[in-house]
Amino acid sequence: MRIVLISLAFNAYWFAAVLGQNSMLPFLVLALIGAVLLDRGVLFATPLFTLIGVAGDSVLTHLQVLNFDTSYMPLWLGVLWAGFATYIWLVRDWLMEKPLWLLAIVGAVGGAGSYLGGERLGAVEFTMTLVNTALVLAAAWFIYSVVFLVILKRLSRKGETCPKPHLSMTEKSLAEKE
C-alpha cells in the first residue's frame, strides 16, 4: 500500500510540475520537504540523482532534442527531477527486489512517455519527428534507469543513509559499537 500511495503522490507531483510549471514551485518545494519527514535519507540521495537527471536533460536541451520556452532548462524541470529522485529513493526497497533489466526497460518506456506526455501538455517542444524523439528519449531513460539502479544498489549494499542528527551522543556511541 505504501508503494501505491507514494506512486500516486509522485504522479500528482508530476502533473503539478508539468501543468503549473514555475507557478507551482511553492507546492513542489513543500512536497519535497514533506518527503524529508518520511525519510531523512532523501536529503542524502536526492541531490545526487537530481544532478544526474538535470545534467542529462541539459545535454538533451543543448542538442535541441528538448526545447523549452526559455534559453536554459527551466527551474520547474529541475524541481521535477528532485521529485523523481525523491520518489525512487522512497521506493528503493521495492525497486531492488525487481530484475535490473526489467526496470531498465520499464524506465526507458515510462521516462520517454513522461516527456511525450509533457509535450502534449505544452511543457516542452520537440524539433525531431515524434518517432525519433521517442527513440532518443527512450535511450536516454534506459541510461538514466541503469545508472540510478546501480547507484541505488550500491547505496543499499553499503548501508549508506543520511546521518540521524536526532540521536543523542550516547545513542550514536552505542550504534557505532554495534
Q: Report yes or no: 104 and 145 within 8 Å, Cβ to Cβ.
A: yes
Can you tell me which residue has the cell 526545447? 67
Question: For residue range 32-51, what is the model confidence (pLDDT) as tens digits?
Answer: 999 988 888 888 889 999 99
Torsions phi, psi for 67 (to 5 deg): -125, 130
Contacts 24+ apart (CB under 8 A), 130-136: 133/65, 136/60, 136/65
Predicted local distance difference test score (pLDDT) of residue 17: 96
pTM: 0.85
What's the N-to-C CA distance of the chain in angstroms?
Answer: 32
Alpha carbon separation from 97 to 93, 140, 172 (Å, rounded) = 7, 23, 30
- Residues in CB range of 81: below 8 A, 6 or more apart: 49, 50, 53, 54, 57
Q: Report yes or no: 38 and 90 within 8 Å, Cβ to Cβ.
A: yes
Q: Report yes or no: 41 and 161 within 8 Å, Cβ to Cβ.
A: yes
Predicted local distance difference test score (pLDDT) of residue 170: 42
Q: Show the low-confidence residues of the chain (pLDDT under 70).
A: 158-178
> DSSP secondary-structure letter at 91?
T
Q: Report yes or no: 57 and 73 within 8 Å, Cβ to Cβ.
A: yes
> DSSP secondary-structure letter at 98?
S
Predicted local distance difference test score (pLDDT) of residue 159: 53
